[in-house]
Every structure is written in structure tokens, then in C-alpha cells.
């Protein structure tokens, strides 16, 4: 059998490679020509532990190839972005484009699985788009007739940094448009998944994924709210949380500079947009976490005012430790705002990237080497708890003001 993965990003590429590694023939489809060329030369176009070796292997054995033109397959896995538009409304245009792209090569009995995190109802919408696109092509009298392809939703749940382990070992929720669709998808995932697989409806699977990320967001918001309260009351929030967590039924997460990444900072809005009256804690958690970067900016500005010539080392730009992903990163937002406030010289350190994103480079900012930054800085702001920062010799920090937004030091 032949599998096609539509969208070769953080989820699609590892998924395609893991399937290909079992000996299945996999065709990866993407619109990004640069990514296609890199993958076909055996290299991933982003950093993820152990992905380099795997992609090289499956490209060399000919089991994985990348292209921009969809080809016939027995199963299609759609792993395209689902961002939101203004007003936090989900943008399903990439799913619609994927449906249109594969419609001409779909044949009766094919399986189409949506992996992208999606608002409730998106799988039904995908099914309708596929039906419309397919009837437009050759069977105008069958408008809306979908029974000949099987559609399911199996949301990805992998943690960046541990993708290859989690793609195989995590439990999966598999929601079908019908029972038969779910069973077909189950058989597909069984090829690679060692974790438990639970079969349900597409709507439940959609909501399950959103619920997981909203749960984490609400819990991080609780920690972030505590950090702001503790700042006001002059209490060390890290010590406080450590004490509270000694209770057998309390498990508070870590406060930080805000919540980033393309999942937790986005997905809860998909619940809010479908149930705006009812989703109250979920909306509030988003607002609390989104307000945290401004809180950090005001703390840095306050500190900088005490310095004659503020030279501020900003350590880390990625959305969390030990990844190179800057999407929705609170650290990027903080640095951008500090630059706009003109607080002083900014020394930006991010060992995981080679160049600054355009929005920062356009402000005249540049990347600085860690040692150079430490030599110059009189104020150090730790934004990301990368291992390389956690393990620095604390001596380099003496005689400097330190703002540790992660509690790593």
C-alpha cells in the first residue's frame, strides 16, 4: 500500500518518515519548494532530535519522496497548519486547499485522515469539501455523495523535541465520520503506533485534542497568575509552588514569560470560537497567558531605569527550552517590545538559530554570542530555560541584575 502525507512540517515530515521506515511507500506533498528539495536530498528543513538520520535513511532506501503534485495513494494523512484569523477565528483554508489538491487523485475506497488540530466540525467540513471537489470533477449528479472515500480525524499529540518517540508511543484518539472510517484509520495507525488507540466519533476526537491543550493552558495560566500575585506580595513564587506541590493532590505548573508555540497558544481559541458564551475559564486563561509578556517588559523597563547605561542580555528566543521553533514565542514578543521601548542596548542570544527572524532584524537587532553578551551586559533577562543557559557558571552573573522569567537559576 501507499501512503501520502499532505504537509511536511513539524508533524507531517516525522509522520511520513516513521511510516516510510516500516517499509511502506510514502509520498510527501508540500507547497514549499525549498523544503521539498531539502527532503529529497535527505535532510529535514527544521531541527528535531534524531530526525536527520531517519529522513536520510528513508530517502536513501527510496521509501520517502517529496513532491508538490499529489499522487494516487490508498491513504492520505493531512497535516497542514490550522492557524486563526483576526478575532481568534479558526482559519481552515489550508485544509480546504489540501482537499482540493488531493481530490483529483482520490479513488473509491481511499482513506483520508485529518491530523491537523481542528475546531469541532472541521472533519465534517473536510468531508463536504472533498465531496464537492470530487463531484465537480466527474459526477455532478452525486453532489455531496461522500460514501466512496472514508474520512477520519486522528489529532497529532506529539511534543516538539520528543516527536519521534511520541509519534510512536503516545496513545491516539481516532475519530471516524462513521464506524467504518474509524476502523480503517485504526488499521493505518496500527502500522506505526505502539500506544493505545481509542476509536470514537470525529467530533469527539476534535474536542479531545482541543481539551488537552486547553487543560494545559488553564494550568499554566494559574501558575502565571500566581507569579503576578506573588510579585505584588513580595513572595518568591518558585518557592511557593514547591511548597504547595508537597500536597499530595496539588500539582502546579511553572510560571514563565507567557505561553508560546503553535498549539497551546492557539487551540483553546478554537473552543472559545465555537462556544463563546460557555468557554469562560478557557478564554480567561488565554488572556492571562497572553498578558504575561507585557508584565515581563514592564519589569525589565523598571530595572533598566536604575541603570545609567542599560545593556540588556536577552537569553533565548524560542517558545520553550531546547527547540529552535520561534512560533508565537513570548520571548520574541518581549524582545520586540523592549526594542520599541528603547530601554537600552539589547544583546540577543539564541544558540538554536542562525539568524534573527525578520520582525526583529527589521528593528536593527542582531544576534550576539553568549560570552560577548555576558561580558557587556549589566542586566540579564533569562527568557528561555535552554540547557546551555541552565548550566552556565553562575559566576558570569555576579555584579549584574538578573530577571529570571523561568525560575531556572
158 scored as a contact of ligand SAJ (CB under 6 A): yes
Q: Which is nearer to ligand SAJ, 105 or 168 (CB)?
A: 168
Answer yes or no: 299 catalytic. no
Neighbouring C-alpha atoms within 13 Å toward the C-beta of 229: 10
The binder of ligand SAJ chosen from 20, 220, 221, 326 (CB under 6 A):
220
CB of 319 to ligand SAJ, least distance (A): 4
252 scored as a contact of ligand SAJ (CB under 6 A): no
264 scored as a contact of ligand SAJ (CB under 6 A): yes
Using CA atoms, how far apart are residues 155 and 187, in angstroms rounded to an integer? 16
Q: Which is nearer to ligand SAJ, 70 or 316 (CB)?
A: 316
Using CA atoms, how far apart are residues 111 and 79, in angstroms rounded to an integer? 14
Using CA atoms, how far apart are residues 261 and 81, in angstroms rounded to an integer? 13
256 scored as a contact of ligand SAJ (CB under 6 A): yes
225 scored as a contact of ligand SAJ (CB under 6 A): no
Residues 293-352 that bind ligand SAJ (CB under 6 A): 319-320
253 scored as a contact of ligand SAJ (CB under 6 A): yes
Answer yes or no: 337 catalytic. no
The binder of ligand SAJ chosen from 44, 90, 261, 293 (CB under 6 A):
261
DSSP E strand boundaries for 118-206: 150-153, 172-176, 197-201
216 scored as a contact of ligand SAJ (CB under 6 A): yes
CB of 261 to ligand SAJ, least distance (A): 3
Cβ contacts of 300 within 8 Å, gap of 6 or more: 312, 334, 338, 343, 379, 381, 403
Residues 107-136 that bind ligand SAJ (CB under 6 A): 117
Using CA atoms, how far apart are residues 309 and 376, in angstroms rounded to an integer? 11
Catalytic hit among 63, 263, 292, 320? 263
The CA-atom distances, in angstroms, between 341 and each of 301, 332, 344, 359, 378 are: 8, 14, 9, 15, 18
The binder of ligand SAJ chosen from 160, 175, 176, 268 (CB under 6 A):
160
DSSP-based three-state secondary structure for 230: helix
What length is written for the chain? 409
213 scored as a contact of ligand SAJ (CB under 6 A): yes
Helix (H) or strand (E) holding 85: strand 84-85
Active site residues: 209, 263
Residues in contact with ligand SAJ by CB under 6 A are 117, 156-160, 212-213, 216, 220, 253-254, 256, 259-261, 263-264, 319-320
Amino acid at each position: 500500500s501507499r501512503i501520502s502525507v499532505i504537509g511536511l512540517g513539524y508533524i507531517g515530515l516525522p509522520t511520513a518518515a516513521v511510516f516510510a521506515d516500516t517499509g511502506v511507500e510514502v509520498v510527501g506533498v508540500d507547497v514549499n519548494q525549498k523544503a521539498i528539495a531539502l527532503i529529497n536530498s535527505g535532510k529535514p528543513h527544521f531541527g528535531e532530535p534524531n530526525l536527520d538520520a531517519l529522513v536520510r535513511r528513508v530517502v536513501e532506501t527510496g521509501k520517502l519522496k517529496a513532491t508538490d503534485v499529489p499522487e494516487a495513494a490508498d491513504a492520505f494523512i493531512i497535516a497542514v497548519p490550522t492557524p486563526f484569523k483576526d478575532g481568534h477565528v479558526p482559519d481552515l483554508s489550508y485544509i480546504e486547499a489540501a482537499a482540493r489538491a488531493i481530490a483529483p487523485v482520490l479513488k473509491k475506497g481511499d482513506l483520508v485522515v485529518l491530523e491537523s488540530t481542528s475546531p469541532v466540525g472541521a472533519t465534517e467540513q473536510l468531508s463536504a469539501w472533498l465531496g464537492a471537489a470530487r463531484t465537480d470533477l466527474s459526477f455532478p449528479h452525486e453532489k455531496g455523495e461522500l460514501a466512496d472515500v472514508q474520512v477520519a480525524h486522528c489529532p497529532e499529540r506529539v511534543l516538539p523535541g520528543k516527536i519521534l518517540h511520541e509519534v510512536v508511543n503516545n496513545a491516539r484518539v481516532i475519530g471516524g465520520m462513521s464506524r467504518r472510517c474509524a476502523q480503517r484509520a485504526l488499521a493505518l495507525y496500527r502500522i506505526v503506533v505502539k500506544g493505545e488507540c481509542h476509536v470514537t466519533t470525529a467530533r469527539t476526537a476534535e474536542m479531545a485534542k482541543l481539551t488537552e491543550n486547553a487543560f494545559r493552558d488553564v494550568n499554566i495560566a494559574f501558575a502565571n497568575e500566581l507569579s503576578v500575585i506573588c510579585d505584588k506580595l513580595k513572595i518568591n513564587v518558585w518557592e511557593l509552588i514547591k511548597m504547595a506541590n508537597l500536597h499530595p493532590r496539588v500539582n502546579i505548573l511553572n510560571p514563565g514569560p507567557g505561553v508560546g508555540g503553535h498549539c497551546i497558544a492557539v487551540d483553546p481559541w478554537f473552543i472559545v470560537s465555537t462556544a463563546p458564551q460557555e468557554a469562560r475559564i478557557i478564554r480567561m486563561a488565554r488572556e492571562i497567558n497572553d498578558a504575561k509578556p507585557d508584565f515581563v517588559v514592564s519589569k525589565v523597563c523598571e530595572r533598566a531605569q536604575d541603570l545609567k547605561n542599560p545593556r540588556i542580555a536577552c537569553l533565548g528566543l524560542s517558545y520553550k527550552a531546547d527547540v529552535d521553533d520561534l512560533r508565537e514565542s513570548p520571548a520574541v514578543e518581549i524582545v520586540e517590545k523592549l526594542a520599541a521601548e528603547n530601554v537600552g542596548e539589547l544583546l540577543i542570544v539564541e544558540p538554536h538559530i542562525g539568524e534573527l527572524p525578520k520582525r526583529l532584524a527589521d528593528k536593527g537587532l542582531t544576534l550576539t554570542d553568549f560570552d560577548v553578551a555576558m561580558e557587556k551586559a549589566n542586566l540579564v533577562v533569562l527568557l528561555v530555560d535552554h540547557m546551555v543557559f541552565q548550566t552556565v557558571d553562575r559566576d558570569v552573573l555576579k555584579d549584574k541584575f538578573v530577571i529570571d522569567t523561568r525560575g531556572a537559576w
